[in-house]
Structure 1
Amino acid sequence: MKFTRSLQKILFYLSSFIPLYLLLIVQNIQLFDDNGRLLTLKCFFNQFLNISTSVSIFWIGLLIFFILSLFGVFLFFRVYTKTEGRIGTIKDTEFVREDTMGYIVTYIVPLISMDIHSGRSLLINFILFFIIGTFYVKNDQLFMNPLYNICGYNVFSAEEYIYITRISKTKLKKIAKRNLEVKKVNLIGDIYVITEVPLQTSRSDDLYL
């Protein structure tokens, strides 16, 4: 069980860097030759098998990380958000929005500067990536994921809990104040994915009033 939870944390961590993978692809992939002409299919695919060892390692590593990160995406969006969970209430407290933008600026942006033609640069950035991952996994920072915001989820901290939800802050406060029920799915530790209870549609409509 402990190994499974650790593996899930690692997959969630890798998925939080999907924006970085995409930026690195855009930054380093070649579509045109030195004369500005579109590469032939053979030349296009040959760039991934470059005689430079560091370049080959970069593309192979990036492919592996991207594929593994898709499992993290699947876990959150197809498993945890679809799990029945349990019905309960949330405390009427201050909901503080977590700064996932800070995560991008602090951890993702610096990694864009790597030089894929330099083995030393790749090693340094891999070590940095590993250190960040250790911090992320050990401290259960699973909620720090830009994909959640991109897909319409909000991340709030409320006393000892972290809530990942599509419910707005204003509506969340009204739900807590009126002691209405929500569906809670435990992601890990004190982190929960919460959604409104469908049977409360008629009551939840009053929240907009």
Structure 2
Amino acid sequence: MIKAIFVRSIMFISSYFPLYILLLISQGDLLLPFGNTTQKLTWYSGSFIVALGILIVISLISILLLKNAPIGSYCNPVNMKRPDDKVMNYVFTYIIPILGLSFNDFHSVIVNVLLFLMIWFLYIKLDLIFVNPLWSLFGYISYEYDGGYIITDIRYEDVVRTKTPLLGCYLTNRIFLARKGKRCGA
């Protein structure tokens, strides 16, 4: 149980990778020791920038974990559907933190951290690890099929056409990871 929550938490952290980059850009004046900035780096804004750096590193590590996940199961997806707008809807949750966040406003930081924790809880509880924009940037797309979701770097048309089961691993009971070149009997 603890391992599953840990893995899902890493995937949640990586799902917000674009947000971390956008936050660093939007608060760029805090990072530059020169220029005409009126903002001062406070202990909590400095800590938050360090935390964002750590979250970015964890996000990149999740890609390595995804690419090196052990292969030991197979899946033959039936009634596979093209991706819908779940990832886009998820990305739009970034708008709230970006519009309201100021590292120099302690209350703004606390509210956004609480929002982030609430979304983390829902992400874990609802088993939404297939919703991850960072994976999409690296070529992994989530498809729905009877029984769950498949995350793969294999084109939709290729998965639908083949009758050979895909080799990969289950990230959770409903979410299967398959990579190119990994097919039963291949």
TM > 0.5 between the two? yes
CA distance in 1, matches of 2:136, 2:52: 23
The whole-number CA distance in structure 2 between the counterparts of 1:88 and 1:163 is 9
Q: Secondary structure at the match of 1:97?
A: coil
Question: Which one of the candidate residues 114, 118, 121 is aligned to 2:105?
Answer: 118
**CA RMSD after TM alignment:** 2.3
The one of 55, 76, 93 equivalent to 2:66 is 76
**Secondary structure in structure 2 of the residue aligned to 1:111:** helix
* Residue number among 127, 135, 141 corresponding to 1:154 in the alignment: 141
The answer to whether the 8 Å contact 2:152/2:178 transfers is: yes
- Distance (whole Å) between structure 1 residues aligned to residue 183 and residue 161 of structure 2: 17
* Residue type at the aligned position of 2:36: D
Question: Corresponding residue for 1:60?
Answer: 50
Alpha-carbon separation, structure 2, partners of 1:76 and 1:18: 15
Which position in structure 1 is the counterpart of 2:27?
28
Q: TM-score, normalised by structure 2?
A: 0.84
Bigger fraction of residues in helix: 1
Q: After superposition, give the CA deviation of every residue in 1:110-161 in whole Å (9 maximum; x if it has no partner).
A: 2112111100000000000000000001111111100111111221011221
Tell me the matched-pair count: 179
In the TM superposition, 1:39-188 aligns within 5 A as: 50=41, 52-78=42-68, 80=69, 83-91=70-78, 93-99=79-85, 100-105=87-92, 107-113=93-99, 114-175=101-162, 179-188=163-172
Cα distance in 1 for partners of 2:183, 2:159 equals: 15
Q: Secondary structure at the match of 1:143?
A: coil
Per the alignment, do residues 158 and 111 of structure 1 end up closer, same or farther by CA in structure 2, a change over 3 Å counting? same
**TM-score when scaled to structure 1?**
0.76
Percent same amino acid at aligned positions? 22
Give the SS at the match of 1:112: helix
The amino acid across from 2:4 in the alignment is R
Larger radius of gyration: 1
- Counterpart residue type for residue 61 of structure 1: A
Q: Structure 2 unaligned segments of length 5 or more: list them.
A: none
